[in-house]
Amino acid sequence: MARRMLHIGCNAALALIGAIAPGRADTPPEGDRTGHDYPTSARVEYVQECMLRNGGELAYLYKCSCAIDRIAKDLTYDDFVEWTTFARNASLAGERAGIFRDPDQAREKTKQYRALEADAYRACGIQAPK
């Protein structure tokens, strides 16, 4: 009977912790905030794509999270969106896709983003994308 009471007590404690934790889990202490603020959905999308590129292993959850955190230290979210748009579309064919690959600005931002991402990958133990 005492064992059962302990089990119920543990469940209640876990429920209480679970109710409190979501509000604090993703909020770093005030002094620990570094880098730029990206929407959570953008970070999750980046991590999921990174994990898929690397075989989908769970270990890449941490490595890819590390990579987006490093990128966020150097780029504002608006720059991240712009640079990744150029980088993702740089290899598209056709006249309409020329805006992503032909202007000097597009080429430069693609080059800068790929270098930044490669550095983040290396620092986080991921093989740099080709």
Q: Which of 82, 73, 60, 72 is nearest to 129 (CA)?
A: 60
Residue 64, in any domain of the structure: yes
Residue 4, in any domain of the structure: no
Residue 116, domain extent: 38-123
Count how many domains the chain has.
1
pTM over 0.95: no
CB-based contacts of 36: which residues, under 8 Å, 6+ apart?
72, 73, 75, 76, 77, 80
Q: Looking at residue 7, what is its pLDDT?
A: 46
- Which mean pLDDT values do the consecutive 10-residue runs of the chain (130 residues) have? 47 42 40 73 96 93 96 95 84 63 76 94 87
Residue 46, in any domain of the structure: yes
Q: What are the pLDDT digits (tens) for 76-101?
A: 999 999 989 888 876 656 666 565 55
Residue 52, in any domain of the structure: yes
Dihedral over Cα of 88, 90, 96, 99: its sign: positive
Residue 96, in any domain of the structure: yes
Q: Looking at residue 110, what is its pLDDT?
A: 87
Residue 97, in any domain of the structure: yes
Q: Looking at residue 18, what is its pLDDT?
A: 44
